Amino acid sequence: MNKPFFTKTASSVVLLSVGALLLSGCANKAVVSYGDAQAVETTDINFGSTDLQKVASQMTDSLLASPVVGTMTANSRPIVFVERLKNKTSEHIDTESITDSISTQLLRSGKFRFVDMGRVEAVREQLNFQNLDPLVNPSTAIAFGQQVGAQYMLYGNLSSIVKSNADKADVYYKFTMRLMDLKSGLVEWADETEIRKTRERKTFGW
């Protein structure tokens, strides 16, 4: 006996629906892969990873190549603290990442030592615990007043100029950095680097 027509039709609809769901699931599945962290980023004209790497590398190379800094570090490792960069652009830029990269590269050079001002409160809390809490053996506690003061301050600014019209957008970044002797107030080194990025309208939009 032949099966009713509506049963065959219902079965076909169910099979088609299941197939569509499977295909939809495959089509929406994300594919994750590793990329080159040093590759040039051209997603947009905003400040990105390539700009951060360029700025950090150029400032570090300039500082280490300075004759004044060479004399300063010839027989000692000066102690430096890095002030967080001032972001004068209209973008939200993680300037701490820039200063982290610069201080890390300088520390790797073996010519400088750094005071981490971002951890001062955590250090103070730990010293208070060691010296004031009865749970800590006094013979193992680090006494107050043993911290070494910085001799130099490294600081800088990141600014930008943005211009655009119907066909083109242009952004110019200027990054400046200085090294100050905290005792004398004299600026021992300074440099700047520039980045310009342009985006042009294509036939079918940006």
Q: List beta partners, residue 174.
A: 159, 194
How much is the pLDDT for 8?
53
In a domain, 160, yes or no: yes
In a domain, 80, yes or no: yes
Domain that holds residue 189: 43-200
Q: Report the CATH number that the domain containing residue 134 is assigned in CATH.
A: 3.40.50
In a domain, 3, yes or no: no
What is the end-to-end Cα distance of the chain in Å, rounded?
64
Pairwise CA distance, residues 111 & 48, whole Å: 29
In a domain, 36, yes or no: no
Domain tally, the chain: 1
In a domain, 7, yes or no: no
Tell which residue, 153, 53, 159, 35, has the closest CA to residue 101. Answer: 53
The answer to whether 74 touches 64, Cβ cutoff 8 Å, is no
In a domain, 55, yes or no: yes
DSSP 51: H
Pairwise CA distance, residues 80 & 112, whole Å: 7
In a domain, 25, yes or no: no
Instruction: Give pLDDT tens digits for 135-178.
Output: 999 999 999 888 889 999 999 999 998 888 878 888 899 999 99
In a domain, 57, yes or no: yes
Tell which residue, 203, 200, 195, 160, has the closest CA to residue 40. Answer: 195
Bridge-based pairing state of the strands 152-164 and 86-87? parallel
How much is the pLDDT for 6?
46
Give me the residues of the chain with pLDDT under 70, please. Answer: 1-28, 33-45, 202-206
